[in-house]
Structure 1
Amino acid sequence: MNKSFFILCTLVTLALGVGFWLHQEPVDEPTNSELVFENFRDTLDTLKSIEITNSQGGLLNAESVDGVWLASIQAGLPKYPVSKKHLSELLQAITQVRYLEAKTRKPQKFSELGLQALYAEDSIATLITFSTGKASQSILVGKTAQSGQGSFIRKPSETQSWLVDRNISVPVDKYSWLQQPILPFQPEKIVSVSRLDQAPWTITRDVQSSSLTLDNMPLGSKLKYEAVLSSVTTALTDLKFERLLMKDYELTRSLEILTVLELHLTDGMFFTLNLGKKGDDNIVYFSNFDGVPYWGAWAYQVSNFTAQQLIKSLSDFLEDKSSNQSEVDTSVEQYSIDEGESPQ
């Protein structure tokens, strides 16, 4: 009886084991040395376009024009330069990325890796397509591995998903991979900055020494600190935007102007920077410039902090005399009291 029972148990265990094995998903052995795109490096020089999309729409639609990558933001409007840093990091990652571990083939499990098709409900995948004009290659990028090292990917034409050995970064919105800052030159190129609206002032650079001076500084006044003037030119050349806007008459006339600055550059170019308010938004646009610089074709939404860096009055540059006098008076009063006390 005991022997029969033992045999029966053994048979049941084997049957369960075989059933479990049959229901396991067949997974290819990972090939750690295999590149995801074996010949991608050979196509870098012939790439014509890069398109990045997710379930919400386009994140980046860029094309190479005479060696410069430009992004289409809105139909009928000029293209905008793409960040060289972000683009080079993406191309380097795609060139070097290797398979690390094979994952699921089952479409119903793709959501766990963030690799659902873009049309699927709640898809968080990002589709990247590289095209030479004659051929294209695509990759779906999903979640980052829990370890923080490596991304889950899948080629759209295949059901096999993979963990790869690199984190593949994608833009969070259609503005995040555009070139920043707005103005494409260094502070040293600014010869002068003048505020033209209320409380006017002018900062001028000596071309020979590159030092900055505040014109018509009140007699007897001093600068608040040594770099207070250079902080203005730095703020202008570090100017970053949060969102691009169509610059048209309707927008510019609707703004409550906060400040107007005129800039002159070493190459003779000059232009006006206008900062205005529309509701809670701070808007910058440029006018009165020569030629058609790409940065002059747009209006830019900027942060409150950025806006405050541009709104300067004369008093912001000068040492507060009343504060200094108060310190002197306090010091004199303390000294007098000490001198007037008699020993006990």
Structure 2
Amino acid sequence: MQRRTLLLLSGAAVVVVGGALLIPNDDTVPPTDGGALAFPGLAQRLQSAAKIEATRHDGALAITRRGETWVLPAKGGYPVRQEKVRELLTGLTELRLTEARTTDPALFDRLGVDDPTKDGSTATLLRVLDAQGAPIAELIIGRRRVRTQGNVPESAFVRRPGDNQAWLAEGRVPVDSDPQLWLDRDIANLPRERVRRVAVSRTGESPLVLTRGEGPDGKLEVTEPTEHPPLDETNLDEVGRAFEFLTFIDVRPEADIPGEPLGEGRFELTDNLAITVKPRKDGETLWIAIAAEGDDEAARFNARWRGWAYQVGPWKEKAFVPRIADLRREETPAPAAPAADDDADAPPTAGTAAAPATPEAPAAPAAPAETPRQQ
């Protein structure tokens, strides 16, 4: 009996193993020799790169080189994230063609390597050009191939422009055609505790000065004017948070800043740093130009801020150039007293029947006269 059971279990194990070998596994990595580089010797040629273009049917990106900095012409030459450019160019130099795929143009859209300018296409045409506009590297990048295994390199389907041979390429080439994705939106991140004094000169308003109290728990308080309505601590704290996680929505050269000037706010911070903000309002949008004064920290800020105007959230107006009305505490209205019933004793108006009077209770009968006792 034990021998028979053992034979049955052995047979079942053989069936299971055989079935496992027949089931396809999408995560299995086919053995390859690593593939040939898509662009041999590209690293040396990239020394003369002057422009990067990424084209899709729904948008295009152009990044140009200015000295050692890559910038966005569409944003007035504002610097892009330099590490993103390095990652893209490094990815091109390391890209390897691992598997030849279709040469049938009718199948290109399945791999995402069809004409990038065609409506509905998901392909991206990436071009790296030299100063004369000659291509250094060109590639149509299609769908990425996703694998769930760990430590497996990324791969994507690619094709050279003018060539009908599509390839599966191994490597990461992070290309985005949306210019907004190339911008570093951070302006500053200075904790509110560093703000010691704020002097606001708002157009059409009296000067306003806020000063932080002494000690680690000191709070901003209005010290000018000395007479003012009750103020809200949360609104005061927002002034101190003006530069906490400050990011921009859009950017343009300062000479092109739109809108009407609102005045200026001067923020004095610890470590000998002062920042002046000059906001302008253009309809519902708020633009600011900012400049720093002080030591090395101020120099670093000015290297980024000088010459630029930033669009920020409209709620920042009350932080950069607040009015006393923006800081006051909202009074909670007292509950209204119930209305008096003034019509209780009013005579009925003409045409209105008077309410019937409540009948009075009948008077109690008089007590009978005392009957004299018989003698």
TM-score by length of 2: 0.56
Distance 2:44 2:93 in 1: 9
Kept in 2, the 8 Å contact 1:47–1:64? The answer is no
CA deviations 1:314-335 (Å, max 9, x no partner) are 69889x7989xxxxxxxxxxxx
Distance 1:31 1:309 in 2: 57
Question: Given the superposition, is the C-alpha separation of residues 321 and 175 from structure 1 closer, same or farther in structure 2, using an over 3 Å criterion?
Answer: closer
Distance 2:236 2:274 in 1: 28
CA deviations 1:255-281 (Å, max 9, x no partner) are 366784345687887543315242xx5
Alignment-derived partner of residue 243 in structure 2: 233
Aligned residues: 278
Kept in 1, the 8 Å contact 2:252–2:310? The answer is yes
Unpaired stretches in structure 1, ≥5 consecutive residues: 1-28, 324-344
Counterpart residue type for residue 36 of structure 1: A
Counterpart residue type for residue 190 of structure 2: P
Structure 2 counterparts to residues 71-150 of structure 1, below 5 A: 71-73=72-74, 77=76, 79-133=77-131, 136-145=136-145, 147=147, 149-150=154-155
C-alpha displacement of 1:289: 8.6
Alignment-derived partner of residue 177 in structure 1: 182
Alignment-derived partner of residue 223 in structure 2: 216
Alignment RMSD: 4.7
Q: Secondary structure at the match of 1:73?
A: helix
Kept in 1, the 8 Å contact 2:287–2:309? The answer is yes
Q: Secondary structure at the match of 1:156?
A: coil
TM-score by length of 1: 0.60
Distance 1:73 1:84 in 2: 17
Alignment-derived partner of residue 315 in structure 2: 308
Kept in 1, the 8 Å contact 2:251–2:309? The answer is yes
Alignment-derived partner of residue 170 in structure 2: 165
Distance 1:205 1:132 in 2: 55
Kept in 2, the 8 Å contact 1:63–1:69? The answer is yes
Question: Given the superposition, is the C-alpha separation of residues 88 and 222 from structure 1 closer, same or farther in structure 2, using an over 3 Å criterion?
Answer: same
Counterpart residue type for residue 308 of structure 1: W
CA deviations 1:78-118 (Å, max 9, x no partner) are x1111123223323322333334332222222222222233
C-alpha displacement of 1:135: 6.1
Structure 2 counterparts to residues 221-300 of structure 1, below 5 A: 231-235=241-245, 238-241=246-249, 243-245=250-252, 252=258, 255=259, 260-263=264-267, 271-278=276-283, 281-286=284-289, 295-300=305-310
Counterpart residue type for residue 73 of structure 1: A
C-alpha displacement of 1:223: 5.6
Unpaired stretches in structure 2, ≥5 consecutive residues: 1-30, 149-153, 294-298, 333-375
Amino-acid identity (%): 18
Q: Secondary structure at the match of 2:181?
A: coil
**Larger CA Rg, structure 1 vs 2:** 2
Distance 1:203 1:152 in 2: 60
C-alpha displacement of 1:196: 2.8
Distance 1:246 1:155 in 2: 38
Kept in 2, the 8 Å contact 1:275–1:285? The answer is yes
